[in-house]
Structure 1
Amino acid sequence: MNKDSSEKIFDELAMIAEKNNYIKPEIYNMFNIKRGLRNSNGTGVKVGLTKVGCVKGYELRDNKKVPAEGELFYRGIRLTEFVKGFQQQRRYGFEECVYLLLFGELPTKKRFDEFKDLLDEWRKLPQSFTENMILKIPSKDIMNKLQRSILVLYSHDDDPDNISVKNLLMQSIKLIARFPTIISYGYQAKAHYFDNKSLFIHSPQKGIGTAENILFMIRQDNNYTKTEAEILDLCMVIHAEHGGGNNSAFTTHVVSSSGTDTYSAIAAAVGALKGPKHGGANVKVREMILDIKRNAINWKNRDMLKDYLLKILRKEAFNKEGLIYGMGHAVYTKSDPRAVLLKKKALELAIEKGAVEEFNLYKNIEELTIEIFKELKGEDTIICANVDLYSGFVYEMLNIPQELYTPLFAAARLPGWCAHRIEQIVSDKKILRPAYEIVDIGNKYIPMDEREREADHFSHLLASGS
């Protein structure tokens, strides 16, 4: 069979598959199906309990969502309070955040020092792993490389299927320590083998923490400033957890509920985060910004920028989808606390980098989008910037390659996934198994010779374009 014949057959098979898998939207309404696990008022369907994290973006009054300032809690502690605590002392917060999420309480200094030593001990990859898994099998997509690497680490574990709390913690800490090394080396392999750049493999360093190690490993000269490391550390902290209902955390709960191993559950979560509807939003922001700079007449002028944002909303510019990326959120209404925290720190880095003009572009997009929505939909319309608006800008200022945006998100979110996995195994012994309503039943088995007539009829419809 030649390539053209194969292509034609697959085109026909695709049309058959699409026809037989399509369910009309009104049928979902008929059976009161909560699509996307969302209630009719936009709130999430409650499927479990958690102590790990909590997202608050509105109040419910008479079963209606009332806008409110956004709040995010890690183990009951407000994110803003947690960040203020370590920033006031001019120290990094990600390792403390990891401890809090995994163990459910803040560490004493002795416990914290021991914990950081454990992370340092396991930052390096197993013997020959870098050569055999990363360099010999490079991938154009770092998330794909990360997912495969996680599953290979199963083979380097002497007791991979043991789901005792002690073993779960050991596996979690090892993965949290190794994720930054895997994505850094995965990027270096991609840059070398696919982009024809020089190959640099820097060993992770002890005593400098996760954020500094990432900058150390992805940069050719290993150099970075204190402000750069602080803002990357903040990015890691604010992405570490976002409640049990986000797509990747829920995936962790679903897969863990089957009793499977840690590597399978975390690889599944990475697969969920890889999807552009979940982990790739800051990439979309970056692409939109580049489009604005190329095509807006004068993006430094607020009126001209506003005109171009209107074109984007009218599907006349950028990718013609009518969305201003980095604005709006499924839960947050008046504000996203992560965006508020990152915006403040981003200005500090922008001043250091001489990029205040760039910072003002993002700030103007935020302010003008709110203004436009009020003009188009009424003064009561509420929309806020989400964390992706400023995280893409931060990564750009840090000269972090776009291919690493979502892998960095994964490295930051891993502690939350691990905490949810432990909670699922300890507290909820039932396998997660929701129900689906069948809407196509009673079809009859048709003998082979009679099927030909139906196939000929369908081919005739294809040829006629019906």
Structure 2
Amino acid sequence: MSDHEMINLDEMGSLKTSMESLQETLLNNHRIDPNLYIEYDVKRGLRDSAGKGVLTGLTEISDVNAYDLVNGRKIPAEGSLYYQGYNIYDLVNGLEGHKFGFEETIYLLLFGQLPSEKELEMFKEVMAQFETLSGRFVRDVVMKASNADIMNSMQRCILTLYTYDSRPEDISAENVLRQSIELIAKLPLIAVYSYHSYRHFRKDETLFIRNPQKGLSLAENILLMLRPDSSYTELEAKVLDIALMLHAEHGGGNNSTFTTHVVTSSGTDTYSSVAASIGSLKGPRHGGANLKVQDMFADIKAHVKNWTDEAEVEAYLCRILNKEAFDHSGLIYGMGHAVYTLSDPREVILKKFARKLAEEKGMMEEFALYELVERLGSRLVMEQRKMFKNVCANVDFYSGFVYTMLGIPKELFTPIFAIARIPGWSAHRLEEILNAGKIIRPAYKYVGHHKEFVAMPDRDPCMEYPCMDEENDKNGD
């Protein structure tokens, strides 16, 4: 085995040839006729023909709405999001006079009620006690096998924390609550330290590890630990705090939260559950969407000479939709949502704070471009796809721009999402445990063919790829 522990197929001709044949065999034997999904009325992606999610569970943690029911008909409406019954607009507006709200949001999601001032202070003290990683853990776990994918590093670190827990397999609600609060507090450290480790060991940059300060919010500590000079403005911390609040929870049906329910229903431990949800969120169809938005805007800026020329911007967006530009996917990233129609409340709120931050950073020209693409993109997508359902910008449209203005590197975009979403995952895990549901086991219909077994001597000896021994002899290996 090489120093890298993984075989380089390009350096081993015989193995590469064999693997290519095995891959071809795989592709030839796992194709299902797409018409069968229609014939058997399979709800692919657990969605019906209209794209609505199939009902698979009940929750009190959050509610996502995009329609009004009028005389039995669903009428598109401005999107609304509720945490434990409280409108997200009220939660954000209720911060007037308070600097930060993410910790209060965590309390609300976990316990189902808004805390009193005394309860919130007590909760913050508990969080502060858990907001630490030993130097040994940082050295022996976080800094080992560093790479650019911080989500994978977070999974590895979380699974290793199992070893440091005296009761890792105890899935009583009381113990899972303790584990959840501890992981919520530690995840920002794991993410930021993993990024610094990657910078140092893979990019040969100076390594610095800074401990969080007690008494600061999670948002403040993220910026303090991330930046070399540990400085940040009040608005920067405020905007990051708002972003964390908006990403904390979004119903039980989103992919990573449903993963939490599925894995939890098997009776597994908290560390495995969180690692599985992070694996789901890592996917570009879920948590990595804002990265695609940022890449798309970089492409637009490079090819549109005048960002204020509406006709020029529209022409380039049409090229993107026609698969002639950017990544040739035909998508304007950040536009459209599976649930929201007229508006995504998270996007509406974040856009307001993005404007404030752009004003502070002197980036209003870029902000104006985002606004223009948002306005044009909605109309163009509807026209191009001949859609009657309104297409609105989703929260990913501005979140990457906000993170960029905050100086957060792209490698941490999705990890920041995970830091925000782990309170929601934890609340859903506790809800699954407390309501003692059955193990989640949806059905799959078999559409293959039963076959008669053929003994080895009677099987077709002709292979589409040479055996490895013959190839090794040929190459003198």
Q: 1:133-282 residue pairs with structure 2 within 5 A? A: 133-282=141-290
| Residue 318 (structure 2) aligns with | 310
Q: Matched residues in 1 for 2:260 and 2:361: separation?
A: 39
Amino acid at match of 1:355: M
| Residue 18 (structure 1) aligns with | 27
**Matched-pair contact (CA < 8 Å) for 2:341–2:389:** no
Is 1:451–2:459 an aligned residue pair? yes
Q: Matched residues in 2 for 1:135 and 1:99: separation?
A: 31
Match of 1:368 among 369, 376, 379: 376
| Residue 287 (structure 1) aligns with | 295
| Residue 32 (structure 1) aligns with | 41
Partner SS for 2:78: strand
Alpha-carbon shift at residue 428 of structure 1 (Å): 3.2
Is 1:74–2:83 an aligned residue pair? yes
- Shift in CA distance, 255/81, structure 1 to aligned 2, threshold 3 Å: same
Deviation per residue, 1:276-305 (Å, 9 max, x gap):
111100000010011111122322322111
| Residue 53 (structure 2) aligns with | 44
**Matched-pair contact (CA < 8 Å) for 2:321–2:384:** no
**Matched-pair contact (CA < 8 Å) for 1:41–1:64:** no
Partner SS for 2:152: helix
Alpha-carbon shift at residue 90 of structure 1 (Å): 3.8
Q: Matched residues in 1 for 2:161 and 2:386: separation?
A: 53
Q: Matched residues in 2 for 1:390 and 1:34: separation?
A: 31
Q: Matched residues in 2 for 1:136 and 1:275: separation?
A: 23
Deviation per residue, 1:300-359 (Å, 9 max, x gap):
322111111111001110000000001101111110000000000111111111111111
**Matched-pair contact (CA < 8 Å) for 2:265–2:439:** yes
Q: Matched residues in 2 for 1:224 and 1:363: separation?
A: 26
Partner SS for 1:452: coil
Partner SS for 1:152: helix
Partner SS for 1:194: helix
Alpha-carbon shift at residue 126 of structure 1 (Å): 3.5
Match of 1:84 among 93, 97, 108: 93
Amino acid at match of 2:90: E
Q: 1:412-451 residue pairs with structure 2 within 5 A? A: 412-451=420-459
Is 1:5–2:14 an aligned residue pair? yes
Give the root-mean-square deviation of aligned CA atoms.
Answer: 1.9
Alpha-carbon shift at residue 380 of structure 1 (Å): 4.7
Deviation per residue, 1:364-404 (Å, 9 max, x gap):
11011123235445695511010001001101101110000
**Matched-pair contact (CA < 8 Å) for 1:165–1:422:** yes
Partner SS for 1:68: strand
| Residue 128 (structure 1) aligns with | 136
Amino acid at match of 1:44: G
Partner SS for 2:80: strand
**Matched-pair contact (CA < 8 Å) for 1:373–1:381:** no
Q: Matched residues in 2 for 1:398 and 1:332: separation?
A: 27
Q: Matched residues in 1 for 2:280 and 2:384: separation?
A: 34
| Residue 4 (structure 2) aligns with | none
- Shift in CA distance, 213/190, structure 1 to aligned 2, threshold 3 Å: same
Alpha-carbon shift at residue 5 of structure 1 (Å): 1.3
Partner SS for 1:358: helix
Alpha-carbon shift at residue 72 of structure 1 (Å): 0.7
Deviation per residue, 1:180-215 (Å, 9 max, x gap):
000000000011111121111000110011000000
| Residue 58 (structure 1) aligns with | 67
| Residue 111 (structure 1) aligns with | 119
Q: Which moved more, 1:161-170 or 1:368-377?
A: 368-377
Amino acid at match of 1:78: N
Q: Which moved more, 1:448-457 or 1:73-82?
A: 448-457
Deviation per residue, 1:390-429 (Å, 9 max, x gap):
0011011011100000000000000000000000011133
- Shift in CA distance, 458/297, structure 1 to aligned 2, threshold 3 Å: farther
Amino acid at match of 1:54: D
Deviation per residue, 1:80-122 (Å, 9 max, x gap):
1111101x22420100000000000001111110100111111
Partner SS for 1:58: strand
Is 1:300–2:308 an aligned residue pair? yes
Q: Matched residues in 2 for 1:379 and 1:138: separation?
A: 45
Q: Matched residues in 2 for 1:289 and 1:326: separation?
A: 11
Amino acid at match of 1:372: L
Alpha-carbon shift at residue 458 of structure 1 (Å): 12
Amino acid at match of 1:357: E
Q: Matched residues in 2 for 1:454 and 1:61: separation?
A: 66
Alpha-carbon shift at residue 441 of structure 1 (Å): 3.4
Q: Matched residues in 2 for 1:264 and 1:91: separation?
A: 34
Amino acid at match of 1:119: M
Alpha-carbon shift at residue 171 of structure 1 (Å): 0.3
Partner SS for 1:202: coil
Aligned length: 458
Partner SS for 1:36: helix
**Matched-pair contact (CA < 8 Å) for 2:110–2:426:** yes
**Matched-pair contact (CA < 8 Å) for 1:58–1:331:** no
